[in-house]
A = this chain, B = another copy of it.
Amino acid sequence: MEVGFLGLGIMGKAMSMNLLKHGFKVTVWNRTLSKCDELVEHGASVCETPAAVIKKCKYTIAMLSDPSAALSVVFDKDGVLEEICEGKGYIDMSTVDAETSLKINEAITAKGGRFVEGPVSGSKKPAEDGQLIILAAGDKALFEESVPAFDVLGKKSFYLGQVGNGAKMKLIVNMIMGSMMNAFSEGIVLADKSGLSSDTLLDILDLGAMTNPMFKGKGPAMNKSSYPPAFPLKHQQKDMRLALALGDENAVSMPVAAAANEAFKKARSLGLGDLDFSAVIEAVKFSKE
């Protein structure tokens, strides 16, 4: 199977490398073209513009850093729109909001092309290991034709229906994550201030029905006040805000997520926005006693 691949950041590079390793013919493009070299050594072809990739390939996957990059690659000069047409499929796996996805979808389908959004759950390591979780939505036929690629990139792909649903599902997952992180933080601080060992709390949690990789992975660092940014707190707070807005649209009252969101805001006001979202524990901990 031949695919185009737009965007060779940390994620995109790992993903396109996996496709090559599994026998896909891959044509890459990146804004800074020199980043393509390593892929070429492993057998990739290169094009100089997104439009050229689209022209060459029936299927093109994109993995871009943010909504503005995702839009620019489609709508700017030499962009996807110039060559997209009937018979071609565009699969955007960048993490963008539903609105951005809908805008790209509209433009592509207006030209006769097909579109799937496919944001992923998982970061660098799962991308390298082909263990991402893919939250896809949009053109059902294109999704099905993409499954061979998705099977290489992730451990599981979900088809969620109309465009926008992938973005929404990701927000919901992240909202649960943010509330859980606050629950965990409050527990750790309470143990500590009550004269109990927070390390022992981690051990106890780890043996029980709540044991999960996130507590296990982040807890020990949190007990050492170490927050290397895997997922920056300000992005987690933004996702909580957007999830609460989704609740607002649908009249779903979510007092726990709302309280967690305000805790993340407090953490931002304490200058912790660029640290890992687990740094919210510092807002819980903060006192003068």
Contact = CB atoms under 8 A, between A and B. Distances in A.
A204 B133 contact: yes
Interface stretch (A23-31, A47-55, A81-89, A266-274): A266-274
Interface residues of A, number: 79
Nearest to A217: B209
A interface secondary structure, majority: helix
A265 interface: yes
Nearest to A182: B256
Given A200-B169, A250-B193, A256-B256, A155 B207 contact: yes
B183 A180 contact: yes
A289 B272 CA distance: 10
Nearest to A166: B196
A248 interface: yes
Query: This chain: how many copies in the complex?
Result: 4
Contact of A251 (B160, B196, B213, B269): B269
Contact of A179 (B160, B179, B246): B179
A177 interface: yes
A243 to B, nearest CB: 7
Interface stretch (A60-68, A140-148, A184-192): A184-192
Contacts of A257: 183, 186
B176 A184 contact: yes
A10 interface: no
Given A175-B187, A190-B247, A169 B204 contact: yes
